[in-house]
Amino acid sequence: MAKINPPVDVVLVGLGWTNSIMGMELTEEGLSVLALERGEDRDTVPDFSYPKMADELTYGVRLKLMQQPAKSTLTVRHGLGDMAVPYRTLGSFLPGDGVGGAGVHWNGHTWRPQPQELRLKSYVEENFGADIIPDEMTIQDYGVSYEELEPFFDYFEKVAGISGKAGNLNGELQEGGNPFEGWRSNEYPMPPLARTHNDTLFADMARDQGLHPFPLPAGNASEAYTNPYGMQLGPCNFCGFCERYGCMNYSKSSPQTCILGALKRRENFSYQANSEVLRVELDSDGKKATGVTYIDSEGDEIFQPADLVVLGTFSLNNVHLMLISGIGTPYDPVSGEGVVGKNYAYQMNGGSTLYFKDKEFNPFIGAGANGEIINDFGVEQIDFAQEGFIGGSYINAAMTNGQPIRNMPLRSGAPSWGAGWKQAVQETYGHTMTIGSHGSNMAYRDCYLDLDPNYTDDHGRPLMRMTFDWKANDVRMTQFMKQKIDTLSKALGPDDYKLSFKDFDSHYDVRPYQTTHNVGGAIMGSDPSSSALNRYLQSWDVHNVFVMGANAFPQNLQYNPTGLVGALTYWAAKAIREQYLPNPGPLVQA
C-alpha cells in the first residue's frame, strides 16, 4: 500500500516551461500547488556555472542534461507490421530531464505558427479542395484560432524575453521583419541579436533574390531585460554553448531564468525533484482523477491526492502517462477509432553546407538562436495543389557554435579519418556556413503512439511504442526546399557546397540527431471522436486532467514548437482560472 500525502489543490506533473507557467497562474488563484519533477533540481548557479558548462564532451556528446534511456525510453518501428525495438542510445531526439526540462537545453528559437497552420485542414479544403489530401493523411484543425491565441503569444514572448523584429504589427507590414507572419499586437520585447557574418551574407543575398530575410526570433537576450515577473536576463555573449547546455550567463530564456525564481517565492507553491509520477489515479468510474502516484527520491511509492492534475512533462511522456493511466481511448490505426496516441508527427528538415576558402566565419561566436531566416516558402505561401504537397518550411542561415567535436563540417569527398581528414578539417573549420530548411510534417493514419506489447520499463510499466516513417507528401515538400536551397547556395558563390535532404528512399533513422520537436499523440481539437483534448487542453474524458505541451499539435508546424506551447499553456491557464475553477467540469460539451 502506497503512502498517502496530505491533499493539495493542484498537482503539476513535471516542472519545465509549461508547469512553471501553470504554477504562476494557479498560485495566483490562491490554490496550493505541488510540482513533481522526475529529474534532479537544477539552477543556473551552481548547475550551469561557467566554465563547467562549456564542456562539449560531457554535455554535448554524453548528454548529461538529458533523459537517460536506461531509465526511461520508448520503442520505435517504421510500420504496423514491424517489431519495435527500444531507443537505447539517444540520437534523433533528446528529451530533457530535471527541473526546467527541455527549456534548459534548447536553442531558444521562439516562433508563432502562421495563422492558417492552426486550421490547416479547413484551410486546405477551402483553398485547394479536400481531394488534394492523401487518403492516409489525418490532418486536423487545432480548434483554437490565431486571433484567440494572439494575446497569449504576446505574453509568453514577454515572459520568455524574446529578441526579434516584428514583420506585421496589427496588420501593418514592418521593414526588416517577417512579412508572412501573423499579426502581432506588439513589437518583440528586445531588438534582434547582433548579426554574425553568415547572417549578413545570407540576408544581402536573399534581398538580392527578391526574398524577405529577417532575424530569427531568439530566446537569447540581446540586452539586459526584466520580464513581467521581475525575472531578469543578461545580454547573450555568443559563447556558442546553447543547445544541449544550460545557459551559464542568465541569457537564454528558460524556466530558471524567466519564471522559477518568482514561483519559488510563493508560499502556496512547492516542488519535489527526483519524484517520478507513475500514473494518474482515477475514481471508480474513470471520469475524474483523484491524484497521482509517484516514486520519491527514497524509492517510496506515494499517492498524492489532488483536485486538479496538470500533465506538463515532455510530449511523449504525457502521452505515455495518459495511456498508462487509462485517460481517454487508445488510438487504433486499423479502425481509426480512439484518440490517445493518434497523429504523432515530427519535423522534416534538410540543409546545405557551404565552404568558402577565403571567408572566415568564426563559428565559435555563436548563439543558439542566432540566424537569418526567410519564410517566403512557408505553409501559407505555397500553392499546395500546384506543388503537389501540403506543408512548408522556413529557411535559415544559422550559426550556433563552433564546438570542436561535433561541428567539424567537411567538404564533399573529404576523407573521414586519418591525415587526409586532419588536412580537410584544417581547411574547412571556420570557413563554412549552412542554409537549412525547417519544415512541417503532416499526420498520418499509421504514425502514432501506443503501449509496446513486449518491453517494460524499470517500474514494470509497458514502454510506449512509436510507429513512424517518412511519407511521400513530406518528402516532396523537402525536395521542393532542396531546389530552393540549391539556388540560394549557388547565389552565395561558395567554393563548394553539399546538400543533405531526405528522398523517396529515406526511412526514419533514430541514430543521427534531427530535432526534439516530437509532437502529437494527445491532440487538441473540437470533436472528442478525433482528439484527446478539447480546445482548452482539457481531457475530453477526465475533466480534471489538463495536458500541456506539443503533444496537443494535430500535425507539426513548419516552426519550432515552444512559442505555441507557451501560448497554449497561458490560454489553458486562463480557461482553468476563469471557467473551470468556478464550475469544475468539461469546458466544452462533447
Partner 1 sequence: MMIHRQWRQGLAGIGLLSAAAQGMAFDQTEIERGEYLSRAGDCVACHTAPGGEPFAGGQAIESPFGEIFSTNITPDPDTGIGNYTRDEFAAALRDGVRNDGKKLYPAMPYPSYSLIIDDDIDALYAYFMEGVAPVSNQPESTDLSFPFNQRWGIGIWNWFFTSSEPFTPSNDRSDELNRGAYLVQGLGHCGSCHTPRGLFFQEKAMNGEGRDFLRGETLEGWYAPNLRGRGNQRHPLQRWSEEDIVAYLETGRNDYSAVAGEMAPVVAYSTSHLDEADLYAIASYLKSLPAGKGDEAPYDEQADEQTQAMLTHADVDGNTGARLYLDNCNACHFANGKGASQVFPSLEGSSLVNAEDPTGIIRVILSGARMPSTEKRPEALAMPDFAWRLSDDEVADVANFVRNAWGNEGGEVSAGQVAGVRDKLPEDRLSSEPTYID
- Minimum Å distance from CB 43 to partner 1? 8
Q: How far apart are CA 530 and CA 470, in angstroms?
A: 22
Find the binder of partner 1 among 69, 91, 151, 261 (CB under 8 A).
261
| Choice between 30 and 286, CB closer to partner 1 | 30
User: Which among 71-79, 87-95, 246-254, 473-481 is the span making contact with partner 1, rule CB under 8 A?
Assistant: 246-254
Find the binder of partner 1 among 80, 224, 472, 491 (CB under 8 A).
224
- Minimum Å distance from CB 525 to partner 1? 37
| Choice between 170 and 270, CB closer to partner 1 | 270
| 235 contacts partner 1 (rule: CB under 8 A) | yes
Find the binder of partner 1 among 234, 305, 338, 430 (CB under 8 A).
234
| 334 contacts partner 1 (rule: CB under 8 A) | no
Find the binder of partner 1 among 9, 29, 55, 380 (CB under 8 A).
55
| 44 contacts partner 1 (rule: CB under 8 A) | yes
- Minimum Å distance from CB 415 to partner 1? 33
Which position has the grid cell 484560432?
145
| Choice between 236 and 463, CB closer to partner 1 | 236
- Comparing CA positions, the residue from 581, 569, 548, 520 lying closest to residue 137 is 520
| 49 contacts partner 1 (rule: CB under 8 A) | yes
SS3 sequence of 142-156: CCCCHHHHHHHHHHH
DSSP 3-state of 50: coil
Residue 274 and residue 297 in contact, taking contact as beta carbons nearer than 8 Å = yes
| 68 contacts partner 1 (rule: CB under 8 A) | no
Catalytic residue among 105, 212, 517, 543: 517
Q: Name, in order, each residue with C-beta under 8 angstroms of 378's C-beta and a sequence gap of 6 or more.
A: 114, 180, 392, 393, 394, 558
| 418 contacts partner 1 (rule: CB under 8 A) | no
| 441 contacts partner 1 (rule: CB under 8 A) | no
Q: Name, in order, each residue with C-beta under 8 angstroms of 460's C-beta and a sequence gap of 6 or more.
A: none
Query: What's 233's DSSP letter?
Result: E
Q: Please count the other Cβ atoms lying within 10 Å of the Cβ belonging to residue 397.
A: 29
- Minimum Å distance from CB 244 to partner 1? 15
| 582 contacts partner 1 (rule: CB under 8 A) | no
Find the binder of partner 1 among 122, 168, 186, 232 (CB under 8 A).
232
Query: What's 271's DSSP letter?
Result: E
User: Which among 34-42, 258-266, 298-306, 573-581 is the span making contact with partner 1, rule CB under 8 A?
Assistant: 258-266
Which position has the grid cell 557554435?
401
DSSP 3-state of 535: coil
Q: How far apart are CA 531 and CA 142, in angstroms?
A: 9
Query: Measured in Å, how far apart are the chain's first and last C-alpha atoms?
Result: 36
- Minimum Å distance from CB 190 to partner 1? 12
The sign of the dihedral angle between the CA atoms of 64, 66, 69, 70 is positive
Environment class of residue 381 by beta-carbon count within 10 Å: exposed (0-12), middle (13-18) or buried (19+)?
exposed
- Comparing CA positions, the residue from 140, 13, 203 lying closest to residue 526 is 140
- Minimum Å distance from CB 396 to partner 1? 26
DSSP states of 186-221: S--SBPPPPPPHHHHHHHHHHHHTT---EEPPBSB-
| 248 contacts partner 1 (rule: CB under 8 A) | yes
- Minimum Å distance from CB 364 to partner 1? 13
| 242 contacts partner 1 (rule: CB under 8 A) | no
Find the binder of partner 1 among 77, 173, 211, 229 (CB under 8 A).
229
Environment class of residue 268 by beta-carbon count within 10 Å: exposed (0-12), middle (13-18) or buried (19+)?
middle
| 360 contacts partner 1 (rule: CB under 8 A) | no
Find the binder of partner 1 among 1, 6, 51, 335 (CB under 8 A).
51
| 445 contacts partner 1 (rule: CB under 8 A) | no
Find the binder of partner 1 among 223, 332, 387, 469 (CB under 8 A).
223
Site for partner 1 in 492-511 (CB under 8 A): none
Q: How far apart are CA 408 and CA 412, in angstroms?
A: 13
- Minimum Å distance from CB 196 to partner 1? 17
- Comparing CA positions, the residue from 156, 106, 375, 186 lying closest to residue 258 is 156
Q: How far apart are CA 103 and CA 259, in angstroms?
A: 11
Find the binder of partner 1 among 28, 30, 40, 50 (CB under 8 A).
50
User: Which among 40-48, 85-93, 151-159, 306-314 is the span making contact with partner 1, rule CB under 8 A?
Assistant: 40-48
| 193 contacts partner 1 (rule: CB under 8 A) | no
Q: How far apart are CA 381 and CA 563, in angstroms?
A: 21
Q: How far apart are CA 357 and CA 411, in angstroms?
A: 11
Residue 459 annotated as catalytic: no
- Minimum Å distance from CB 245 to partner 1? 13
- Comparing CA positions, the residue from 157, 164, 163, 161 lying closest to residue 232 is 161
| Choice between 260 and 379, CB closer to partner 1 | 260
CA dihedral in degrees (311, 314, 315, 319; nearest 10)?
Answer: -60
User: Which among 4-12, 219-227, 352-360, 495-503 is the span making contact with partner 1, rule CB under 8 A?
Assistant: 219-227
User: Which among 94-102, 195-203, 247-255, 540-548 is the span making contact with partner 1, rule CB under 8 A?
Assistant: 247-255
- Minimum Å distance from CB 31 to partner 1? 19
- Comparing CA positions, the residue from 562, 476, 452, 581 lying closest to residue 515 is 562
| Choice between 64 and 78, CB closer to partner 1 | 64
The Cα-based distances of 468 to 78, 212, 329, 433, 532 in angstroms read 5, 34, 20, 31, 19
| 270 contacts partner 1 (rule: CB under 8 A) | no
User: Which among 43-51, 68-76, 110-118, 275-283 is the span making contact with partner 1, rule CB under 8 A?
Assistant: 43-51
- Comparing CA positions, the residue from 283, 281, 325, 318 lying closest to residue 302 is 281
| 231 contacts partner 1 (rule: CB under 8 A) | yes
User: Which among 68-76, 249-257, 322-330, 485-493 is the span making contact with partner 1, rule CB under 8 A?
Assistant: 249-257
Q: Which residues participate in catalysis according to the annotation?
A: 517
> By the criterion CB under 8 A, which residues form the site for partner 1?
44-46, 49-52, 55, 58, 64, 223-224, 226, 229-235, 237, 239, 248-250, 257, 261-262, 264-265
